[in-house]
Structure 1
Amino acid sequence: MSSILTNASAMTALQSLKATNKALEQTQGRISTGYRVAEAMDNAAYWSIATTMRSDNKAFSAVQDALGLGAGKIDIAYTAMNKAIEVVDEIKQKLLAALGASEDNRAKIHTEILTRQDQLKGIATGANYAGTNVLANDSPSDPLEIVSSYNRAGDGTVSVGTISIDLSTVVLTDADGEAGGLLDDVMGIDISGALVTDDDIKGFLDNVEEALAAMADAAATLGAAKSRIDMQKDFVSKLTDAIDRGVGQLVDADMNQESTRLQALQVQQQLGIQALSIANSNSQNILALFRN
């Protein structure tokens, strides 16, 4: 039945065109933003998961910065420790040369030892990075804590992991570089006096050997910490990339699929407009009957 009040064909064509236009708008939005899920209304569950994962990734970025800062501190300490071992080894050689030497020669050797003691002080106090000195420290009982991870449990609770380094085993001197720490006995070596005997020098040699052994252990501790930090930095970097990929799989649009869909919808839109035009022409056909 044809009616001039209700054009059922036009209404159907209009609804179809509206649906096509809506799908076309959605597809164009995905192409312009690159997201299949750009906001919560697109897919509340995926949007919520992606938002949380993006937030965690920002936290991982901060963890990477903390690891980089910690790596700098340990690297400086490790380099300085190795240099200090070389200098202490030179003091050991000077003490060996002082055995059986005359008082005058010992005085000259003592001057050389003093020079190296000053160098050790400079090494310890100069191993400073970002306001932290691991080797010249008045509080060796306080461990060095380096943020290493950001963890989210299945129930949503979060925790922060750290790498802890026991400074009591690596500190060379106090903050002034005068005494304390692994170099305490080495910094106190003095062979300038007339009453210094070969036995005294042998005692100093024993102290140097103990210091060298302790410093070797300290260098091993710092080296292990440096290696662990480097591995953690690499892991966090890869984890960040994996999270980015995971978020992309949830919310990113497939551009090949969307571009193909766009072309199809554009054709559907053109056909819908044509169908609506044909449906609207029915009323004109009815009027033509009256004109006849």
Structure 2
Amino acid sequence: MTSILTNSSAMSALATLRNINTDLANTQDRVSSGYRVGEAADNVAYWSISTTMNSDNKALNSAKDALGVGAAKVDTAYAAVESSIEVVNEIKAKLVTASETSTDKDQIQLEITKLQEQLSAVAQAASFSGENWAISGSNTGTSGTVVDGFIREDSGSVKITTAEVTLASIAMFSTLSADGAGEGGILGTVMDIELTSGSSQTDIDGFMDDVETALSSLTDAGAVLGALTTRIDLQDDFASTLSDAIESGVSRLVDADMEEESAKLSALQTQQQLAVQSLSIANSSSQNILSLFQ
């Protein structure tokens, strides 16, 4: 039966066209944005996971940037330790020279004094971004810290991880005197060396013991800083790898397969044209009834 009030064919064709237009709009959106899951309505679970992981990845990248600051602090402290070892070795050589009875110990002391001043200058210069690990008294805490990571635990809580080093074990000096001379710390006894014309070999041997102890402590400090540098480098590499892995994992969840979407877009455009043609044919069927009244 043909009715001029209800055109079932046209209604069916129109419903098909609407569905095709909806699918076409979704596909075009995926092609233009590159996302298969661009908002929560697309896939609640995947959207939730990707949003959380993208946030964590940004935090991880920030921690990676902080590693650069930490590495600079460690490198600065290590440079100070390395330079101090060279200066202390020079003081050691002067003391060996002073062991010769014919030498002028007062003149040698003048050289040692300049080397002691150099040690103080090195310690004062070993500052990065207002933090000086070479002088423990300039820090409010007892540990030097370096941010090295960001962790999301199984419980869902997050935390920042840090690498720490005890400043007292690496600090060249504890404090600086009013005139800028270093006091206490690893090099405190070296700063107390003072030769005079009346200094005996026993005095010189005592100074040599102080120098050897200081060199041993400086070597240990350099080892601590070197190990921390190695950890920072490893953590930096790991953070880069982890960030790439997170980004790749999120991509698998939410990124659109452009080859698939491109093929789907072409197919839907063809279906749209056919649906429009079908609707046109269905609408024209009512007009054919006019021929029955001619």
Same structural fold, with TM-score higher than 0.5 when normalized by the shorter chain: yes
Normalized against structure 1, the TM-score is what? 0.96
Whether 1:184 aligns to 2:183 is: no
Gaps of 5+ in 1: none
Identity %, equivalent residues: 49
Superposed displacement of residue 140, structure 1: 8.6
Whether 1:251 aligns to 2:250 is: no
Partner of 1:68: 68
Partner of residue 289 from structure 2, selected from 275, 286, 289: 286
> What letter is aligned with 1:82?
E
Give the match's secondary structure for 2:161. Answer: strand
Contact 1:141–1:168 (Cα < 8 Å) also in 2:
no
Matches within 5 A, 1:106-145: 106-138=105-137, 139=139, 142-145=142-145
Give the match's secondary structure for 2:216. Answer: helix
Q: Which moved more, 1:205-214 or 1:144-153?
A: 144-153
User: For each residue in 1:145-187, what CA deviation from the matched residue of structure 2 results, as whole angstroms up to 9, or x when unmatched?
Assistant: 2221211122211222111111111000134252111000101
Partner of 2:16: 16
Decide whether aligned partners of structure 1 residues 97 and 141 sit closer, same or farther in structure 2, where only a CA change above 3 A counts.
farther
Contact 1:100–1:198 (Cα < 8 Å) also in 2:
no
Partner of 1:199: 202
> What letter is aligned with 1:217?
D
> What letter is aligned with 2:234?
M
Matches within 5 A, 1:28-177: 28-102=28-102, 105-138=104-137, 139=139, 142-176=142-176, 177=181
Give the match's secondary structure for 2:149. Answer: strand
Give the match's secondary structure for 1:227. Answer: helix
Give the match's secondary structure for 2:186. Answer: helix
Decide whether aligned partners of structure 1 residues 141 and 276 sit closer, same or farther in structure 2, where only a CA change above 3 A counts.
closer
Gaps of 5+ in 2: none
Partner of 1:263: 266
Contact 1:27–1:258 (Cα < 8 Å) also in 2:
yes
Contact 2:175–2:184 (Cα < 8 Å) also in 1:
no
Superposed displacement of residue 109, structure 1: 1.0
Decide whether aligned partners of structure 1 residues 141 and 201 sit closer, same or farther in structure 2, where only a CA change above 3 A counts.
farther
Superposed displacement of residue 108, structure 1: 1.3
> What letter is aligned with 2:42?
D
Contact 1:66–1:148 (Cα < 8 Å) also in 2:
yes
Q: Distance in 2 between matches of 1:221 and 1:154?
A: 32
Contact 1:151–1:161 (Cα < 8 Å) also in 2:
yes
Q: Distance in 2 between matches of 1:111 and 1:289?
A: 127
Q: How many residues align?
A: 289
Decide whether aligned partners of structure 1 residues 140 and 115 sit closer, same or farther in structure 2, where only a CA change above 3 A counts.
farther
> CA RMSD, aligned part only?
1.3
User: For each residue in 1:66-106, what CA deviation from the matched residue of structure 2 results, as whole angstroms up to 9, or x when unmatched?
Assistant: 21111100011111111110110111000000013346x21
Contact 2:136–2:168 (Cα < 8 Å) also in 1:
no
Normalized against structure 2, the TM-score is what? 0.95
Superposed displacement of residue 281, structure 1: 0.7
